Amino acid sequence: MKIINKSLSVAALALLGLTFNSCDDGDTVIDEVFANTTSGIVLRTVNVESDELPIGQSDSYFAVELEMQDEEDGALVESLDVFVSFSDRTVEEGETDYSASEVQVATISSSEFTTGQYGFPRTTYSITLPEMLSALSLSETNVDGGDNFSIRFAANMTDGRTFSNGQNTDTSTGSFFASPFQYNAAVVCPPTTPTAGEWTIDMQDAYGDGWNGASVAITIDGEETSYTIDDGASVSATFDVPDGTEVISIKFVSGDWDSEVTFQVTSANGDTILDLGPSPTAEVELLNYCLDNL
């Protein structure tokens, strides 16, 4: 029998922290952060719109929506500086390492902020792959799938102080406020043509009672089919990839007990292209197109 621990979720705590921000001094978590840490500002992640950069696509971009929260509901933030750096993670022996130190690419004035649903200032920042390459004096030939760009924000306060990931404490940069100040954008390869024929997906559940709402979503040229274990410890299924198929995509959909979930996908050419779990990453593309093994 599974035991479910009842606890207040991080999301609920965050909502409470926002809702009761004006309560008695010292009674709320946000008051405690400002009183007992050196953060000065919470730069909360509202939504990461895009953090993958497909090679060869001129419209590849990074974008994030941010919310400013400080002792005066964000009014102490004068501007945000934006910096970009590059990590060459695919250097082989004898090759040039194209890693590049960060450079400043933008300053966002408080006059550009809008007001979010909780009354705090918000802004959305985006930058394209070509813009990042130009700022770092790189070309597309210098990057490959698996490399990484870092986008860092620094909050300039009206009193002259500046805060970023280097000055903030774990309390304000952690999961409670989702305020890392720095984000990674991965360079990925565009989809490769999959081998036509019969593919196999083998699914296992460690507890033996099915996937409890989890599934694997396989999309072939825009048509999605979901695979799961309704009950039991294992299920194998096959699916056909028609001749002429251009794109196959595989994503994991989270359920109640992902820690019990494992699965493998074998393509028509006999390659095991995925062998994942327990707790597969949900809602992201699982195929590594850079391997060209589909």
Rounded-to-10 torsion of CA 175, 180, 185, 186: -50
Task: Say what percent of the chain tops pLDDT 90.
Answer: 53
Cα–Cα–Cα angle for 97, 101, 103, rounded to 5 degrees? 140
DSSP 54-79: ETT-TT-EEEEEEEEE-TTTTTTEEE
Nearest alpha-carbon partner for 243 in 197, 186, 190: 197
Residue 19: its pLDDT value, please? 42
For the chain, the average pLDDT equals 83
Identity of the highest mean pLDDT range in 88-102, 182-196, 235-249: 235-249
- Here the tokens at position 12 are 């609920």
Provide CATH code, domain 10-188.
Answer: 2.60.40.1940
State the span(s) of the chain assigned CATH 2.60.40.1940.
Answer: 10-188
Q: Which CATH architecture has domain 197-291?
A: Sandwich (2.60)
Provide the pairing of β-strand 261-266 with 248-253.
unpaired
Q: What is the pLDDT of residues 142-192, one digit of tens each?
A: 988 888 999 999 999 998 988 888 755 443 444 345 668 899 998 888 888
Q: What is the pLDDT of residues 195-214, one digit of tens each?
A: 999 999 999 999 999 999 99
The span from the CA of 71 to the CA of 55, in Å, is: 42
